[in-house]
Structure 1
Amino acid sequence: MTGYKHLFQRALAAAPERLHFAAHSHHLWPDASYVGQLAAWEDGVRLADRKWERVMGEIWPAAQAHVAAELGLPDPGTLVFAPNTHMLLLAIASALPRRPLRILASDGEFHSFRRQAARWEEAGTAIVERAPLDRIAERAKAGGHDLIFVSQVQFGTGHVLKDIAALAALARPDGPWVVIDGYHGFMALETDLSAVADKVFYLAGGYKYAMAGEGCAFLHAPPGFGPRPEVTGWYAEFEDLSLPPGSIGYAPDGRRFLGATFDPSGIYRFVAVRDMLREEGLTTAAIAAHVDGLRAQLLAGLPIAAELLNPGSPARFLALRSPNAQRWKAVLEAEEVITDVRGDVLRIGFGLYQDARDVARLIEALSELR
């Protein structure tokens, strides 16, 4: 099995005794991200006030091109970046005119959406229907929703949304809108949105498998959907001399969902990491093949009794249900073996910086659990 530890020398040297199997939660950063971070700082001091010309004129388009290539998007201009996906979610919801907002979501969405949806319900600004992932398309076809929000890969179980096209077929500019949360899918699964790019929103970011850290979330916004978000910042303004005085203009592309001033360093890191992967010939398919070997090795020697929730899933982590999950995670962490837990589910995630020897050490650590 090919090793890629040389791409992560700084992160591995920072904690040499650590055995990190939480790539699905906090992916270790490759050395290229350090180069990107330095470039952001150096541009800031070298260019000062003029740094935004480079950020928006060079770094931003490079990041757009990388995301568009990864997802098969025909127009990189439909992409907009933000510090986190929550800001983008609020902008999307603000562009829908109906209140209360009628939302359909799966019953396994990430905490950020779960909490916001619950608060909207509490405030009376949304009516939320939740359904199991395998019934989302059926419930969506029944109609009556303004917003359909569902994860491409569920963060807790690793279950995968199998038919984005079925939801996309329902989407209309006047509603419903379909939003795919791709955070656990982007750069983990090969994803081609070319056939649905004119129908669905897609949210993801750099924190997980893109290996770029925080501050680089993005949204693909289909043309014609939400031309005037109510939650808006001055970066979204599009100067149009034909507008009458006092009018509020919007960019005609994905930038219509922009907010205000942001820290661009996450975008620098993302571009640097993607450039590194291209130079190394590491596609999402190639990384998945590496991970598949690690996962198969662990499953073949798994020494704990737990229910595997995602057998056969292409997700980059194993979801193992057991009443001992919380205790197991704590015991492992005390031994510098890093996993994570969600309720009674122990999650073990895989990445490029692991090899067969790491999996053997993990199996040994798991065998000590009681």
Structure 2
Amino acid sequence: MSWKHLFSRSLAANPDRLHFAAHSQHLWPDASHDGHVAAWQDAAALADHKWDKIMGPVWSEAQQHVADELKLPDPATLSFAPNTHDFIVRIFSAIPGRPVRVLATDGEFHSFRRQMERWVEAGEVVLQTVSPDDLLDSARSADFDLIFVSQVLFNSGTIISALDELAALARPEGPWVVIDGYHGFMAIETDLSQIADRVFYLSGGYKYAMAGEGACFLHAPPGYAERPVVTGWYAAFDDLALAPGEVGYAPDGRRFLGSTFDPSGLYRFNGVQNMLDSEGLTTALISDHVASLQAQFLDIDPLPGFGLLNPLGDEQHARFLAFRGETASALHDRLAEQNVVTDVRGDVLRIGFALYHDREDVERLLKIIGQLV
């Protein structure tokens, strides 16, 4: 079955392209265009008063979509920002005492790793990184202020299965457990209902939520990080009448807000979510579609000399296949010359599948790769 009709604008914009990097920059469905236009129309019609709608029904709708996907008990624990880095900085700022003792895997994304390394240079952080297999033992055996882990590792597609066990270690006084769900949200079924009161979870719309930039979110458990030091005036939306000198915070997830932002990502996010609902497309159904295409791709040995880091066979699987090989970068470039979009990280070539692919697309990809390797 094909759902290409939901992506007619993006596919028509470059009809000869094979875009197999849905795990990186997911193609935008037509519903995102409609959401983007709606944002402009509200800005034109409402002007200054658009924020009443944005921080009202648009905001609440986006919260509910995320809460439904993650099985969160209370949508009010969610806030939105242009990127997840903003949230990392605010969480970090709320930790009392320096240096902050941080535990993370050795496979975290560049923005987290770069920020941590810079804080280490500045004496703000003592960082310990371990392999995913050693994460839980390390977390139990030492004192940390912050434990940071990706739900799905961006480079290898490894899925971290010990989230419940890590959550059991979390305390309001520390450690705080932060789950980076960017490669998990809407890629694998996620139920946070039993640990939502103990973990932070952050993700966004750039990848599998198909909404593009500017629609990142944070679930913040009540009682944790109640007064981030890095803060913007939107975090005091409920306390604008406070006397000068008093720094107030919203009582819910909005305590992590910054200042004025571009709301168009929220409109796109809501538009795409409503499209998925109307089409009956759940994360499980999309994952089944992707899994069938991955199996088709792997039916032959498509990349001789490469090692597959995340083989099929587990109950859950990342939306991309990660192949390690010495010629990964060169192959990525040669594919790009054929208008085939993949993604490379060092010596790992990542190939990502999506709703806008069908079996014919996989056959074309296999044929082109066969001519290059």
One-letter amino acid matched to 2:76 = G
Aligned mates of 1:33, 1:119 — CA distance in 2: 36
1:261 equivalent in alignment to 2:263: no
Aligned mates of 2:149, 2:69 — CA distance in 1: 20
One-letter amino acid matched to 1:134 = D
CA 1:360–1:121 in 2, change beyond 3 Å: closer, same or farther?
same
- Report SS of the residue matched to 2:299: helix
One-letter amino acid matched to 1:103 = V
One-letter amino acid matched to 2:308 = L
- Per the alignment, residue 18 of structure 1 pairs with 17
Whether the aligned pair in 2 keeps the contact of 1:304 and 1:369 (CA below 8 Å) is: no
Runs of 4+ in 1 over 3 A off after TM superposition: 238-245
- Per the alignment, residue 364 of structure 1 pairs with 367
- Per the alignment, residue 355 of structure 1 pairs with 358
One-letter amino acid matched to 1:36 = G
Aligned mates of 1:5, 1:303 — CA distance in 2: 25
- Per the alignment, residue 119 of structure 1 pairs with 118
* 1:265-280 equivalences in 2 (<5 Å): 265-280=264-279
Whether the aligned pair in 1 keeps the contact of 2:102 and 2:146 (CA below 8 Å) is: yes
Aligned mates of 1:328, 1:240 — CA distance in 2: 55
Stretch moving more, 77-86 or 139-148: 139-148
1:152-198: CA deviation from partner (whole Å, max 9, x where unpaired): 00000000001200000000000000000000000000000000000
* 1:25-40 equivalences in 2 (<5 Å): 25-40=24-39
Whether the aligned pair in 1 keeps the contact of 2:215 and 2:266 (CA below 8 Å) is: yes
- Per the alignment, residue 235 of structure 2 pairs with 236
- Per the alignment, residue 336 of structure 1 pairs with 339
CA 1:240–1:332 in 2, change beyond 3 Å: closer, same or farther?
closer
Report the RMSD for the aligned CA atoms in angstroms: 1.1
Aligned mates of 1:193, 1:303 — CA distance in 2: 37
1:146 equivalent in alignment to 2:172: no
Whether the aligned pair in 2 keeps the contact of 1:86 and 1:113 (CA below 8 Å) is: yes
Aligned mates of 1:310, 1:248 — CA distance in 2: 48
Aligned mates of 1:339, 1:105 — CA distance in 2: 27
- Per the alignment, residue 327 of structure 1 pairs with 330
CA 1:227–1:287 in 2, change beyond 3 Å: closer, same or farther?
same
1:283 equivalent in alignment to 2:282: yes
1:311 equivalent in alignment to 2:311: yes
- Per the alignment, residue 41 of structure 2 pairs with 42
* 1:111-190 equivalences in 2 (<5 Å): 111-190=110-189
One-letter amino acid matched to 1:168 = A
CA 1:51–1:240 in 2, change beyond 3 Å: closer, same or farther?
closer
**What is the aligned residue count?**
369
Whether the aligned pair in 1 keeps the contact of 2:146 and 2:174 (CA below 8 Å) is: yes
One-letter amino acid matched to 1:332 = L
One-letter amino acid matched to 2:310 = N
Whether the aligned pair in 1 keeps the contact of 2:239 and 2:250 (CA below 8 Å) is: no
- Report SS of the residue matched to 2:178: strand
- Report SS of the residue matched to 2:372: coil
* 1:210-229 equivalences in 2 (<5 Å): 210-229=209-228
One-letter amino acid matched to 2:359 = A
One-letter amino acid matched to 2:361 = D
1:277-302: CA deviation from partner (whole Å, max 9, x where unpaired): 00000000010011011000000023
- Per the alignment, residue 69 of structure 1 pairs with 68
Aligned mates of 1:152, 1:242 — CA distance in 2: 40
Aligned mates of 1:200, 1:348 — CA distance in 2: 31
- Report SS of the residue matched to 2:350: strand
One-letter amino acid matched to 2:251 = P
Shift of 1:244: 5.8
Residue ranges of structure 2 left out of the alignment (5+ in a row): none
Aligned mates of 1:88, 1:255 — CA distance in 2: 11
Aligned mates of 1:266, 1:16 — CA distance in 2: 25
Residue ranges of structure 1 left out of the alignment (5+ in a row): none
- Normalised TM-score (structure 1): 0.98
1:58 equivalent in alignment to 2:57: yes
- Report SS of the residue matched to 1:86: helix
Aligned mates of 1:303, 1:26 — CA distance in 2: 23
Aligned mates of 2:71, 2:137 — CA distance in 1: 27
1:196-240: CA deviation from partner (whole Å, max 9, x where unpaired): 000000010000000000000000000000010000000001545
Whether the aligned pair in 1 keeps the contact of 2:105 and 2:132 (CA below 8 Å) is: yes
Q: Report the identity percentage.
A: 61
Shift of 1:144: 1.2
Shift of 1:241: 9.1
1:294-330: CA deviation from partner (whole Å, max 9, x where unpaired): 0000000233211000013510000001001000000
- Report SS of the residue matched to 1:148: strand
Aligned mates of 1:203, 1:179 — CA distance in 2: 8
Aligned mates of 1:245, 1:25 — CA distance in 2: 45
CA 1:171–1:357 in 2, change beyond 3 Å: closer, same or farther?
same
Aligned mates of 1:369, 1:129 — CA distance in 2: 41
Shift of 1:98: 1.8
